[in-house]
């Protein structure tokens, strides 16, 4: 099983941070900055997560949906691919790809229920049209590997699989989907970074275990720093900054 | 879709028609697998999505049919009517499949056995393809002669129709019951096991192996119950000793107690090495069944020139 990620399309599609951090020209024209771009994607990820709790799908499906959304915006603009439609459609597509189909009308129903913008209306056919556009944008690459699987295996191997560590690392992994990490790093390294942070927070000495792993600890530490920076950056006046970004695109959701 | 000229309909897949067509610019023959998208219902069928995504991942193997591209078209015959969106999976074209090939050796003007070397070569390629799928975490779940395409001229076999395939994760979760075509269905599936794995494909490979040698199906059951009886009659009714846990499977009943027959008699033209490999593929306990990767190393293949694969 170890071999499969390395030969997967997911591995071949990993991008450099510089390739992910590109604001599409059409969005740039509207004044969207890189920071705002990231913020909007984070908001979309949160939105997908929220929507998923209504339609009751597994965490893995949500993680796949967020990954699709992030892949779409490495190639397409927020201006042309309306986030309010892309978000539910990614969830719709991920549910299908992960074999737990959610009916389109159910999604549309909950989007309407959660609606924040009275003016924005869409129907099932819009989701289905967007599904086609997303498939083309991501070139039908639908297989995504997530850190969750390696996480439980690694925690067990490190003998850190008590409830408190499991919950903490699991939550950290969930939070990594609010960033672009899944597009840039192999999933097991993201899992290791989360374990690293958790072991520091919980005061567990895992140094020797990490040393015995044949992985580049610099990469793991860099990912950890990115996660910590993310938490640091998002403590202050999020709402305001997000609203400013959305106003530029005349969006509300 | 103007790029392709449809030549003829060659079959019906699990979710749509298949056409033989020609790429107008290159002259290359392709197979177009058409999927109508019910835009008022649920969009792209999950089976088509799954096949595309798995093929994207597996298509680099010589032994899995190559997906060349995916084309999305709005088939509008009449400008006044709404468009009918269609998805075409464009595959390389292969001229026949193993079912037709075996049939042509059983009936028709010139009935004759498949040459032992050809059986060996096809089985080796099949194991290669299955090993490739399994190493990528994909179960095929519906291996049967119709799904194995052949390039007769070059003697190449490729696995097709991954519509039922699924990327698996560990631990294996319960899959939807009832999936593999009856004749090639593994006993654990027939008995209602919900935690099955790569062994289900290896069972099918064993049945296909025997079928190539016999030119007729090994276990041609027409109901699930019949299918089990066919298997038990030849291999003996499985015991708890042979297959720990069998009697606690969901659909286990008390069956007549058959003694195992000599498998070699079911495949009289097959040599001892071949029979040994077949026995390992048809082990009752899925955990004991030979893996595709291990099968490639079996002495049965020693006489094969592996460098050509």
Q: Is B201 a catalytic residue?
A: no
Average pLDDT, chain B: 87
* Least CB–CB distance from A136: residue in B41, B56, B72: B72
B36 touches A: beta carbon within 8 Å = no
Task: State the helix-helix crossing angle for B199-214 and B98-106, rounded to 10 degrees.
Answer: 30
ipTM: 0.72
Average pLDDT (B222-241) is 94
* pLDDT-based confidence at residue B172 (cuts at 50, 70, 90): very low
pLDDT in tens, B122-170: 999 999 999 999 988 788 888 999 999 999 999 999 998 875 555 543 3
Distance CA B53, CA B171 (A): 22
pLDDT tens digits for chain A (253 residues)?
334 677 677 777 899 999 999 999 999 999 999 999 999 999 999 999 999 999 999 999 999 999 999 999 999 999 999 999 999 999 999 999 887 889 999 999 999 888 767 777 888 999 999 999 999 999 888 889 999 989 999 999 999 999 999 999 999 999 999 999 999 999 999 999 999 999 999 999 998 999 899 899 999 999 999 999 999 888 777 788 888 899 999 887 7
* Least CB–CB distance from B46: residue in A4, A9, A96: A96
> How is residue A19 written in tokens?
């390739």
Distance CA B223, CA A71 (A): 46
B56·A141 Cβ contact <8 A: yes
Could you tell me which chain A residue has the CA closest to the CA of B40?
A125
B49·A128 Cβ contact <8 A: no
Lowest mean pLDDT among A243-252, B22-31, B35-44, B122-131: B35-44
**How many angstroms separate the CA of residue A139 from the nearest CA in chain B?**
9
A97·B57 Cβ contact <8 A: no
- Percentage of chain B lying above the pLDDT 70 cut: 88
* pLDDT-based confidence at residue B270 (cuts at 50, 70, 90): very high
pLDDT at position B79 is 67
* Least CB–CB distance from B40: residue in A101, A125, A132: A125
**How many angstroms separate the CA of residue A141 from the nearest CA in chain B?**
6
pLDDT at position A3 is 43
B54·A149 Cβ contact <8 A: no
Residue B29 CB neighbours (<10 A): 14
Distance CA A10, CA A6 (A): 8
**How many angstroms separate the CA of residue A4 from the nearest CA in chain B?**
5
B136·A4 Cβ contact <8 A: yes
Inter-residue contact B183 to B221 (CB < 8 Å): yes
- Give the CA distances from residue B277 to residues A9, B63, B203, B235, in Å, rounded to whole numbers and listed in that order: 34, 21, 12, 15
Could you tell me which chain A residue has the CA closest to the CA of B45?
A96
């Amino acid at each position: 099983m170890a071999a499969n990620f390395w030969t997967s399309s997911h591995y071949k599609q990993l991008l450099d941070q510089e390739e992910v951090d590109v604001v599409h020209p059409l969005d740039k024209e509207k004044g969207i900055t890189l920071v705002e771009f990231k913020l909007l994607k984070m908001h979309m990820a949160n939105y997908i997560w929220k929507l998923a709790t209504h339609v009751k799908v597994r965490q893995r499906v949500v993680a796949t949906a967020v990954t699709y959304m992030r892949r779409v915006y490495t190639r397409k603009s927020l201006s042309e691919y309306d986030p309010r439609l892309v978000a539910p459609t990614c969830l719709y597509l991920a549910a299908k790809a992960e074999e737990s189909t959610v009916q389109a009308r159910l999604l549309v129903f909950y989007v309407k229920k959660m609606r924040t913008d009275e003016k924005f209306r869409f129907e099932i056919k819009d989701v289905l049209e967007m599904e086609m556009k997303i498939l083309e944008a991501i070139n039908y690459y639908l297989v995504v590997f997530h850190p969750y699987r390696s996480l439980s295996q690694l925690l067990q191997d490190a003998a850190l699989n008590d409830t408190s560590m499991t919950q903490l690392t699991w939550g950290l992994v969930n939070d990594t989907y609010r960033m672009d990490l899944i597009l840039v790093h192999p999933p097991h390294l993201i899992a290791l970074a989360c374990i690293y942070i958790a072991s520091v927070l919980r005061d567990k000495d895992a140094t020797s275990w990490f040393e015995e792993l044949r992985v580049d600890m610099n990469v793991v530490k860099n990912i950890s720093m990115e996660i910590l920076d993310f938490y640091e950056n998002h403590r202050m006046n999020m709402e305001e900054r997000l609203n400013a970004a959305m106003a530029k695109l005349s969006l509300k959701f | 879709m103007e790029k392709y000229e449809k030549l003829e309909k060659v079959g019906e897949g699990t979710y749509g028609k298949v056409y033989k067509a020609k790429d107008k610019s290159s002259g290359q023959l392709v197979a177009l697998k058409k999927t109508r998208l019910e835009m008022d219902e649920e969009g792209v069928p999950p089976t088509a999505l799954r096949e595309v995504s798995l093929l994207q991942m597996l298509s680099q193997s010589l032994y899995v049919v190559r997906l060349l591209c995916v084309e999305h078209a709005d088939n509008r015959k009449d400008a006044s009517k709404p468009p009918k969106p269609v998805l075409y999976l464009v595959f390389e074209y292969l001229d026949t499949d193993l079912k037709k090939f075996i049939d042509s050796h059983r009936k028709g003007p010139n009935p004759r056995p498949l040459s032992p070397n050809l059986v060996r070569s096809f089985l080796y390629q099949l194991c290669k393809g299955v090993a490739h799928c399994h190493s990528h975490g994909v179960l095929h779940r519906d291996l049967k002669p119709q799904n194995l395409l052949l390039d007769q001229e070059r003697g190449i076999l490729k696995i097709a129709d991954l519509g039922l395939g699924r990327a698996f994760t560990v631990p294996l979760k319960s899959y939807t019951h009832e999936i593999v075509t009856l004749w090639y269905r593994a006993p654990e599936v027939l008995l209602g096991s919900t935690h099955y794995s790569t062994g289900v494909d290896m069972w099918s490979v064993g049945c296909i192996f025997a079928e190539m040698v016999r030119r007729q199906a090994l276990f041609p059951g027409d109901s699930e119950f019949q299918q089990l009886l066919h298997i038990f009659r030849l291999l003996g009714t499985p015991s708890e000793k042979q297959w720990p846990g069998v009697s606690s499977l969901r659909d286990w009943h008390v069956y007549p107690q058959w003694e195992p027959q000599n498998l070699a008699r079911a495949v009289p033209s097959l040599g001892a090495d071949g029979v040994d490999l077949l026995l390992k593929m048809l082990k009752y306990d899925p955990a004991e069944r030979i893996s595709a990767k291990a099968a490639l190393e079996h002495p049965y293949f020693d006489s094969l020139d592996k460098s050509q694969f």
